[in-house]
Structure 1
Amino acid sequence: MSNEYRHVLVAVDLTKDSHRVLERAMQIADRNHAKLSIMHTLEPLGFAYGGDIPMDLTSIQDQLDEHAKQRLAEIADTHVPRENQHVVVGMPDTEIHRFAEEHDVDLIVVGSHGRHGFALLLGSTSTGVLHGAQCDVLAVRVGKKGEESAE
């Protein structure tokens, strides 16, 4: 692992495991005197519901966005300045890659449940991030065997 990281991005899913992922990213950022940013990506409701719903989902999307910002602040406020906390709407791996490229991120830290078999074949955010990243990616093992990840 390089000790020359200048900007570390930690991508979280806002579950209890987010604290563990953030702690790991903070250790690396501190050792490298690097900038630390944290982000959460919300999938657009149109994607979540197949885009076939004949109604305006803007207010619901806005409520989800506000809730995500509040939850991210609960997780990150004591460690990451608000201007470095980001909630974006889009497909998680795509938005993480975009953010990393636009902000000169040289390490992305994500949580990984270490799934195998069908879960791995179906893909996960951490797998998607790993395969498209132009910088280093650290997958932090979260959740113990047999333990459910709760919000």
Structure 2
Amino acid sequence: MPTYKRMLVAIDLTEEAPQVLDKAKAICEAHGAKLILAHVVEPVGYAYGGDIPMDLSELQDQLDKAAREQLGKYGEQYGIRKEDQIVTVGRPESEIHRLVAEHDIDLTIVGSHGRKGIQLLLGSTANGVLHGTECDVMAIRIH
């Protein structure tokens, strides 16, 4: 089994995030690796189809601030330093690929809902991460 040195755990800030974080922290400790915690906020215009003729920057700022606060709570709870907590805006798969490259990550950990068989990853963010990154990807099944 390879020894991982730098791990990225990407979470979605739902009540299921601790399931992913618990396992990610244990894997990180078993390898003596550095753990970087990330959350990607999707652009508001993207989420609403981009056809709304209004300025959504205030809403985007509120979402970003709320994500940073929640990520900070998880970071504190799991002993992840502030400088290793990243909130970014964009498409989750693309942003995770960028973070993997920027931080020389060798294992990316994401959550995946409990579908069966091949459907476990198809159509999900985990699938997008898996098929575009240069490092190993681990999908933690969320119950």
Structure-1-length-normalised TM-score: 0.87
Residue identity in the other structure for 1:30: E
Q: Give the structure 1 partner of residue 115 of structure 2.
A: 115
Partners of 1:58 and 1:105 lie apart in 2 by 31
Partners of 1:120 and 1:138 lie apart in 2 by 12
Shift in CA distance, 121/110, structure 1 to aligned 2, threshold 3 Å: closer
Q: Equivalences for 1:64-103 in 2 at 5 Å?
A: 64-78=63-77, 79-103=79-103
Partners of 1:55 and 1:67 lie apart in 2 by 21
The 3-state SS of whatever aligns with 1:77 is helix
Q: Equivalences for 1:132-143 in 2 at 5 Å?
A: 132-143=132-143
The ranges of structure 1 where at least 4 consecutive aligned residues each deviate by more than 2 angstroms after the TM superposition are: 114-117, 119-122
Matched length: 141
Where in structure 1 are there 5+ consecutive unaligned residues? 144-151
Q: CA deviation at 1:116?
A: 5.1
Q: Give the structure 1 partner of residue 131 of structure 2.
A: 131
Question: Identity percentage over the alignment?
Answer: 52
Residue identity in the other structure for 1:54: P
Shift in CA distance, 46/140, structure 1 to aligned 2, threshold 3 Å: same
List per-residue Cα deviations over 1:59-103 (Å, max 9, x = no partner). 110000000111111222132111111110000011001100111
Residue identity in the other structure for 1:141: R
Residue identity in the other structure for 2:10: A
Q: Give the structure 2 partner of residue 47 of structure 1.
A: 46
Tell me the C-alpha RMSD between the 2 structures: 1.7
